[in-house]
């Protein structure tokens, strides 16, 4: 899913005041699109800047150190390929060049490698918390009414799609909808001490500053990977009060407003595709479209074209929303 299935002229567009292009180096379009989104996540760079390894620490295979360097280098328009060292670093850590990659999987790999390789464990926790959705899974036995509760968390919200039209709001409702597990899916009740029909669901404990949403367009169909080209609409901003009731989350959590600032787009088929990204710059309040080294201004109408899942123009695959209470901090750091 990382292969470049179409070629564009390779050049750097220096007209973009706050978003710069990245050369495609070894089928790096997937990582390029992720780096554009992480560069726009200024909160992440703020946390990485607080990591001060020892003066003699020099490890070019250390992901958090190389990520910190590349995010700084991307702010220098004169560097022709600021991400080469980061690509080499990921290659050493088994995110290989000249290989198809899934953007969601690489996103998780980067965060997991930060957790493994950063020496400051408190800072690691803050970076994880930047994206961490804390939930409580609950499984209620429909025979004795006993509720089994399981704390859990996710670094993004993975949303299943139906094969026709979808809205982001309906996909979120579907994720939290209570499901009845019966027949072969029965669950062993601790109180009954035998398998029973149960009702399973999730409740939100807390939401992060950065809400990353994964639109699960790829599906295993009898051993073959199928891509869903269905429509998925999503808003510029939303709050959970518009989607969920208080039975699914604390009232204050539901009131938090989230604003979209990055859309990672997948074009083509599961086995022969290409990644690009739309990035919203708070410096000039403008959307930019980044296709490897090609960057140009875009509009919200352009972003909305990713709703429809077109084979060639691309379909939204990952969405990054910023909680409004984080905006002042994010803007002050730029």
Q: What are the pLDDT tens digits along the chain (334 aa)?
A: 544 444 343 334 434 457 999 999 989 999 999 999 999 999 999 999 999 887 777 778 999 999 999 999 998 877 778 999 999 999 999 999 999 899 999 999 999 999 999 989 999 999 999 999 999 999 999 999 999 899 999 999 999 999 889 999 999 999 999 989 989 889 999 899 999 999 999 999 999 999 999 999 999 888 888 999 999 999 999 999 999 998 888 888 888 999 999 999 999 988 889 999 999 998 899 999 999 999 999 999 999 999 987 767 799 999 999 998 655 444 444 5
Residues acting as catalytic residues: 29, 274
| Alpha helices by DSSP H, 50-135 | 63-73, 84-92, 103-117, 121-131
DSSP for residue 305: G
**Surface-to-core class of residue 198, CB atoms within 10 Å of its CB (0-12 exposed, 13-18 middle, 19+ buried):** buried
Residues 6+ apart with CB under 8 A from 29: 2, 3, 4, 274, 275, 276, 292
CA 79 to chain centre: 26
What was the pLDDT predicted at 326? 53
Q: Has domain 29-332 been given CATH number 3.90.70.10?
A: yes
Domain residue ranges in the chain: 29-332
What was the pLDDT predicted at 293? 93
Q: How many CA atoms lie within 13 A of 202 on its CB side?
A: 17
What was the pLDDT predicted at 58? 75
Run of H or E including 269: strand 257-269
What was the pLDDT predicted at 17? 52
Provide the 10 A C-beta neighbour count for residue 11. 11
What was the pLDDT predicted at 325? 67
Whether 225 contacts 1, CB under 8 Å: no
């Amino acid at each position: 899913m990382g292969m470049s299935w179409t070629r564009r002229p390779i050049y750097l567009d220096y007209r973009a005041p706050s978003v710069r292009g990245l050369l495609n180096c070894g089928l790096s379009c997937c990582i390029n699109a992720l780096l554009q989104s992480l560069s726009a996540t200024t909160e992440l760079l703020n946390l990485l800047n607080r990591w001060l390894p020892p003066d003699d620490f020099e490890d070019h295979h250390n992901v958090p150190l190389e990520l910190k360097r590349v995010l700084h280098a991307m702010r220098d328009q004169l560097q022709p390929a600021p991400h080469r060292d980061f690509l080499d670093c990921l290659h050493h850590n088994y995110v290989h060049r000249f290989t198809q990659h899934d953007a969601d999987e690489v996103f998780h790999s980067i965060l997991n490698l930060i957790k493994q390789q950063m020496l400051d464990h408190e800072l690691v926790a803050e970076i994880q918390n930047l994206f961490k959705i804390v939930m409580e899974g609950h499984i209620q036995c429909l025979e004795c009414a006993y509720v089994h509760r399981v704390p859990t968390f996710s670094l993004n919200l993975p949303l299943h799609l139906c094969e026709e039209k979808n809205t982001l709001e309906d996909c979120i409702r579907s994720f939290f909808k209570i499901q009845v597990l019966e027949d072969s899916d029965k669950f062993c009740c601790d109180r009954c001490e035998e398998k029973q029909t149960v009702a399973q669901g999730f409740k939100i404990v807390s939401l992060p500053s950065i809400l990353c949403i994964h639109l699960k367009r790829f599906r295993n169909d009898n051993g073959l990977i199928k891509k869903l080209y269905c429509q998925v609409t999503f808003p510029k901003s939303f709050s959970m009060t518009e989607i969920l009731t208080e039975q699914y989350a604390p009232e204050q959590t539901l009131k938090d407003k989230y604003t979209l600032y990055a859309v990672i787009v997948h074009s083509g088929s599961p086995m022969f595709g290409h990644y690009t990204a739309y990035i919203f710059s708070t410096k000039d309040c403008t959307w930019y479209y980044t296709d490897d080294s090609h960057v140009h201004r875009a509009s919200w109408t352009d972003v909305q074209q990713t709703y429809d899942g077109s084979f060639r123009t691309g379909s939204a695959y990952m969405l990054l929303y910023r909680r409004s209470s984080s905006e002042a901090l994010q803007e002050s750091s730029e």
